[in-house]
Amino acid sequence: MNILMIHYLLLLYIKAILQLGEKEILIKSDRGGDFRLKSSRGSRPMTRQMDRDEIARLDKQSYILQYKELLRELQISTWKLLLNDAGKPVYGYAFKKELRSVNPFSPTHKDRTKRIAKEISSMHNSLPLNASNAIFVCMDETRCDMLKVLISGPDDTPYQNGLFEFDVFFPVNYPQQPPKCSFLTTGSGNVRFNPNLYNDGKICLSILGTWEGRPEEKWNPLCSLLQVLISIQGLIFVHQPYFNEPGYEKSQGTPKGDESSRRYNLQIENATLVYAIYEQWKNGPIYFRDIIKRHFWAKRESVLKQAENWLQTMVDEIRNNSNPLKKNGEGNIKCWGIVWRRSLKNKFLIDIDILLKCDDYIKNLICIVIMTRQTVRKLVEAFP
């Protein structure tokens, strides 16, 4: 059975799974209690008198409202992130040393604490909460200067539907200096999601003081954490992240530049499916567990369609790329975390002789398709 036949059968399976009737879905909450809601399919009778555009518009409105209803109460939350006695983080935290060096209850830090509390309080009405993009904040129960942040990838970008985690700490001289931020969704240091996001957690952004910029782009005491988070979502999680690399913007609009951007996006889309969607769903942090469950439940059909479209793109890429780019750096699609030398014949029912005749570029593409097919299957099994 060849790749395209397996792909076709998989799509039939996905469509069968997604034929949800009108039923009540129960989402278990880690904070206690259950959250019940109706399936989005079958919840509104679609009569023949309604045209397709009207049906689509009503479904979209219902979907947007449902997402907000599901997640509004969780947008800013608290969790026991620190051990009460030792003051050490219960979970991994990028700024442990800085955390231990600051006593938030010291009278000398009174103004700092007030400023932080005021900012967090104002976020209740300021953080974006849409199906297309959202930001969630989790604060330690006893210290408001220690935060965990979850940012959803905006629609129409290679980060779509993914959930990306950050650590945030307010330094001792805040707001004279910007907050410290570290990126955590790196596939254990194996993935670099953007030229501005390093796999060691570093974030290059003018407002954080980690990148050069015009004076108006840099941090000043009137800036806020909200501005930092909006900047990350709006300036880093973009439609064409390839051009965030310094100097690459000069090639934007040229055949070579646009092709390099397209191939870069294919890598990011795959990493999003594997690390920001599937891994978050299966192994996401407990303090964001309710958010992750509700986010992916609300967007389940969009996620499956996203994986399906990416898989089809890669199948087409393999089929049409008779003269692929060789090992010349930016054009070569690489396969994060996937070692093609594994025994593919036994695991994936693909003729190993075919793989041996392909060049490295095609081998990598096939590996990505295999990995994504597995991810799609697991997503189908995971969702209600």
Helix (H, G, I), strand (E, B) or coil at 359: coil
DSSP secondary structure of 65-100:
HHHHHHHGGGSEEEE--B-TTT--BSS--TTHHHHH
Sign of CA dihedral 25, 23, 41, 46: negative
Catalytic residue check, 144 = no
Closest CA to 200 of 218, 181, 215, 182: 182
Tokens 């036949």 — which residue?
5
Phi-psi region at 43: left, alpha or beta (left = phi > 0; alpha = psi -120 to 50): alpha
Among the options 138, 204, 223, 358, which is catalytic? 204
Closest CA to 281 of 370, 384, 129: 384
DSSP for residue 175: T
Residues 22, 41: Cα–Cα separation, whole Å: 6
Residues 98, 113: Cα–Cα separation, whole Å: 15
DSSP secondary structure of 10-46:
HHHHHHHHT---S-EEEEE-TTSSEEEEE-SSSSS--
Helix (H, G, I), strand (E, B) or coil at 153: coil
Six-digit token string for 43: 């919840």
Helix (H, G, I), strand (E, B) or coil at 139: strand
DSSP secondary structure of 237-265:
S-S-GGGGSTTGGGGTTSHHHHHHHHHHH
**Other residues' Cβ atoms within 10 Å of the Cβ of residue 282:** 11
Residues 43, 144: Cα–Cα separation, whole Å: 41
Residues 165, 210: Cα–Cα separation, whole Å: 19
Alpha carbon distance, N-terminus to C-terminus of the chain: 29
User: Which residues are identified as catalytic?
Assistant: 204
